[in-house]
Structure 1
Amino acid sequence: MNERLQQFLAAENINQAQFADSIGVARASVSHILAGRNKPGYDFLISMMKRYPELNIEWLLSGKGKMYKNAVNAAGARGGTQSPAQINLFEDLPDFFGQELPAQPEQESVPEPQHLPKTPGETPLSAQDRDSPANTGAMEGKKQEISPEPAVRQRSAVKIVIFYDDNTFQEF
């Protein structure tokens, strides 16, 4: 039965996850059935029959007969038409590709990093300050006690992503 189920998935052109979602079972249960670890239960078969009424259940269970109940469904499932889940998938969404993008705001320049003193008592001096006579005498005798204050940088959110329980998301 595992091989026939794999043949059915190939004929419908869907993967295991899409199949599991379409019949309303856990993805792991389909994986276990296809791997031969578990056998399909009653609920699995009933939900499969409800979702795919054109599937010949006798073929699935015993291998007798054809995959589909009639030839029209067999031709349609093998690529002649799209499955119902694929027909109007993105019809209700607006077309963003035809729109022009708004003008990009100018990016702010990133400020140069501030160099903090190596020890708490030292303060960094520019070349001009080091050479001035007022500072040379003051620095020889004592060190200035200054506690450096951490620089607070303003931040703003760039992207917000919301994940929904039906495995979809939106970016803002």
Structure 2
Amino acid sequence: MNLSAKIELLIQAKKLSASQFADTLGIPRSSISHILSGRNKPSLDVVQKILIAFPEIPAEELLDDKRDLSITVSAPKVTSTPTSVTPSLFDAVIPSAPESPKNSLAEQTIVQSNLRRPRESSPKTVVPTVAPATTAHLAKKIERVLIFYTDGTFTESKPL
């Protein structure tokens, strides 16, 4: 049994999704997806993180293709790693310890409070008294939209 198959077996035995497994290891979710699909082989870093997160798994069983993986079902050990996983726009907000008192509010609360903030803090715009159809053109317009992907690429869109 190859290493990718053993990782898939481990995920199933621990009753985790691939995303939960990646989060437990502190690696990008796409890395686990690529390993499970056979696109990439697990790196040494991934193997080390698996062995740290699941100390009950002997390294010899995990790495030797001729040996089967003996797994006991238990809760995964969550470790804090220096690498950070950037959540996508669709991930739930998970509260964490604030870095400073300024960051003690959840992001959603900050956004909502900014939306309710009076316009006095923004620069005043002088709107001439002209027909209503003309004043619509003086409103804010989207200049460009940038979309960043997990592989480090991005696309830029500009209105016509």
Per the TM superposition, whether the score is higher than 0.5 is no
From the CA coordinates, give the structure whose radius of gyration is larger: 1
Q: TM-score range by the shorter chain?
A: 0.3 to 0.5
Q: TM-score, normalised by structure 1?
A: 0.41
